[in-house]
Amino acid sequence: MIIDGNKYFILNTKSTTYAFRVMESGHLEHLYYGKRIRVTDNLDGLIERQEFMMGNNNAYSPDFPSLTLNNVCLEASFEGKGDNREAFAVIENSDGSRTSDFVFESAEIDNEKKDLKTMPSAYDLEGASLGDKDSVSKGNHLHVVLFDKYNELRLHLDYYVFENTDVITRTSRLENCGKASVTIDQIMSAQIDFHDSNYVMSTFNGAWAREMSRKDIPLRAGKHINSSYTGTSSSNANPFFMLSSPKTTENTGIVYGFNLIYSGNHTEIAEVNEFDKTRVLWGINPRGFSWELDAGESFEAPEAVMTFSNAGFNGMSVSLHNFVRNHITRGEWAKKERPVLLNSWEAAYFDINEFRLLKLARAGRDVGVELFVMDDGWFGERNDDRHSLGDWKPNLKKLPNGLKGLCDKINELGLSFGIWVEPEMVNVDSNLYRKHPDWAIQIPDRPHSEGRNQRMLDLSRPDVQQYIIKAMSKLFSSVNIEYVKWDMNRTLTDVYSEYIRDNLVSSDSVLSKNRQGELSHRYVLGLYRCIKTLTERFPHILFEGCAAGGNRFDLGILSYFPQIWASDDTDAIMRAQIQTGYSYGYPQSCWGAHVSGGTNHQTLRVTPLETRFAVASFGSLGYECNLIDMSRDELNNIKDQIAKYKSFRGVFQFGQLYRGRTFTDDKNVTEWTVVSPDKKKAVGMLLQRQAVPNMPYQYYKAVGLDEDLYYHFYNREIKVSIKEFGDLVNVVSPIHIRPNSHVQNIVDKFYKLEGDSDALKMFGSAIMNAGVKLLPAYSGTGFNEKTRVFSDFSARLYFMEAEKL
């Protein structure tokens, strides 16, 4: 609920309060954001009272000689009036000046959640008004208007309160009310100033195949910047970030979580000034960006998301997960359980044909797979990554019966059929490029910096957008396609658009110039038009986003595609770290996770099949391995895995995920718990990086259970191969068994050791606080049926089901 206390604005969620006021000068002073507090319409105790000018700071104006904006916590700041910190907006006015003076004009409180016109934004539950159903009580939208009378510009600031999820979102829109064009060089989505600086800024950085590594930076004087300049939200710097107190843990301490509903270049800035105040800004990256705003036009910035928790990082994640599930992902698949899939990529790469695909699909069907996905290599002359992107017609040498022939046969096996596409890209060696070279983003008559032997189509062009919509609509309606993996395997270089050069000219002859600084943002807007149109046209299709893995994992894409391929790295140990990183800001229903082959294709690491399954279970499960070459034991194990996953699928995909100990904290284990909404079911995972001899007894601690429920706690039992013991098995074997011998293979085929079996009954309070002391792991001596074989990279799943005492 938002309270208007005569130029005081108090935004309350279930557990937080956000407050600011209109100063006598007309500026918006930020007063507080944190745990919910009791306030009246008198907030004088939260105001910093300036009586004298300090040192060499500048007074805002003769009417306010003791006011320096450089020492005020503000809701929005601008250049030229004494605030030396990073600005919310930088605007080149029609006279060439860059000074802006936005002051309060009006405010309105209502109950309407307004969509952005050009970009996705958060929505109300089932289309209800704010205040209905999950978004309780009325008055959850605040619209504030600031006006710069000297330059005739209006800045519209919108605040939306999602009470039950403890989230506030913000948008900004600049309106040119004058008669001349202005140029926007920078405009943020949100700003928040804190009166102190005792914070740690946590960002999630990485690269291809190693996304979302958490980096903690204690704030000091100066700027700390997290940003992308790839044309995407990028695996280098995800737009999600946190600010926390130095001693915050997973379950204790204060933390702020921030995100952006945007899929392009972005920036997140935390700046500490000489008065020890901290300014946080996030929005479109100003590097390489400019936007010419003609008279009568408006520019809207992406919607920003923020939350606060005093229950540690897990508390913040709970709020953001609920927000994403209920107010970002939408459509038929938002809350629908996702099928277990088998993807052809790591099984065959480009070397696919109908016979091989059907053989792989049959193997998938036999172990319980529900969806078969044909990845890259099915169209044009696509035998490698140098040809045919843009030519979306099946290769009849590989698929002699066409897509329909293959799809029909897949459906006859009882499987759904899915397909891979990369509509935003084009190969130079393609019919599309030969016909429309001007459709690519490139600088004419200059050498181009290639990425994966392909170029990006210019999605700022309406004709390119229409081509993609038409080509994909034709493809998706040609056969019974029920899943689409939408890929994007390179980033922007040689940023130039012939369309912008020829078509976007300012109406103001004084400022008329080439507007190439608009290309990266216009690309994103064009992408949104394409995927919005297609997802609305094909609501039954499950779309999974991908950009060389997690190079575009953001709330913008999740507004259209309910899940994203988290990383091209399918190695279980790396995936545990990557998925831990994502879990801070995104629920596990949003990422795809696959079981790969025994020797991983990205790291060459060999991990147990159980470990690969355990890690991939926390998300939308798939298999990306050659089932045709697997042994009968492996296939039987996979069949059991999938059956168990299906029985807990709703919990794995839509339960609340909590982190315990993690590799991120330099621990030797990663510990996850996922809990059903009613807390009657839960699954835990304990993953070990390295085994040590004479090790201490291990334990597992759950998070998020009902303290008063009585749980049956048990693990998924697995059989143990004698091969895991090497020649150590000869200590107990009546015959000598040489490792890797024919005898060992025969014995292993017909005889398996019984694995550990834990079956306990405990209250939730005990499992969470005392933890479960697990059966002893083999540590150099002794072995029996109560010993866990828990070597390097081993994992166990533990299931918890409430029952009557």
The per-residue pLDDT for 137 is 44
- The mean-pLDDT minimum among 360-369, 542-551, 731-740 falls in 731-740
pLDDT band at 132 (very low <50, low <70, confident <90, very high): very low
Q: Give yes or no for a contact between 592 and 563, defined as CB atoms under 8 angstroms apart.
A: yes
Percent of the chain scoring above 70 in pLDDT: 97
More confident residue, 693 or 313: 313
**Averaged pLDDT of the chain:** 95
Which of 308, 791, 425, 347 lies closest to 601 in space, CA to CA? 347
SS3 assignment, position 34: strand
Q: How far apart are alpha carbons 241 and 258 in whole angstroms? A: 5
Q: How far apart are alpha carbons 310 and 245 in whole angstroms? A: 10
Q: Give yes or no for a contact between 768 and 711, defined as CB atoms under 8 angstroms apart.
A: no
The per-residue pLDDT for 507 is 58
46-102 pLDDT tens trace: 999 888 888 899 999 999 999 999 999 999 999 999 999 999 999 999 999 999 999
The per-residue pLDDT for 511 is 46
The active-site residue out of 83, 148, 193, 568 is: 568
Q: What angle do CA 195, 318, 593 make, to 5 degrees?
A: 125
351, burial (CB in 10 Å: exposed 0-12, middle 13-18, buried 19+): exposed
Q: How far apart are alpha carbons 553 and 583 in whole angstroms? A: 12
The per-residue pLDDT for 641 is 98
Structure-token match 């891979």, residue found = 420
- Asked if pLDDT for residue 139 goes beyond 90, the answer is no
**Phi, psi at residue 475, to the nearest 5°?**
-65, -50
251, burial (CB in 10 Å: exposed 0-12, middle 13-18, buried 19+): middle
Query: Is 568 among the residues known to form the active site?
Result: yes
- Partner residues linked to 419 by β-bridges: 374, 484
If phi > 0 it is left, if psi is from -120 to 50 it is alpha, else beta; for residue 566 that is alpha
Which of 95, 93, 72, 96 lies closest to 82 in space, CA to CA? 72
Query: Is 385 among the residues known to form the active site?
Result: no
The per-residue pLDDT for 779 is 85
The per-residue pLDDT for 752 is 83
Q: How far apart are alpha carbons 252 and 10 in whole angstroms? A: 26
If phi > 0 it is left, if psi is from -120 to 50 it is alpha, else beta; for residue 793 that is left
426-472 pLDDT tens trace: 999 999 999 999 999 999 999 999 999 999 999 999 999 999 999 99
Which of 767, 770, 578, 566 lies closest to 687 in space, CA to CA? 578
Half-sphere exposure of 213 (CA within 13 A, CB side): 11
496, burial (CB in 10 Å: exposed 0-12, middle 13-18, buried 19+): middle
> Domains in the chain and their CATH numbers?
2-327 (2.70.98.60), 341-565 (3.20.20.70), 674-802 (2.60.40.1180)
Q: What angle do CA 426, 432, 438 make, to 5 degrees?
A: 80
The per-residue pLDDT for 82 is 97
- pTM, two decimals, is 0.96
Average pLDDT over every residue of 176-204: 98
The per-residue pLDDT for 745 is 86
The active-site residue out of 148, 193, 391, 487 is: 487
The per-residue pLDDT for 733 is 83
Structure-token match 């008004």, residue found = 129
Helices and strands (H, E) in the chain, number of each type: 15, 40
Which of 50, 158, 183, 25 lies closest to 518 in space, CA to CA? 183
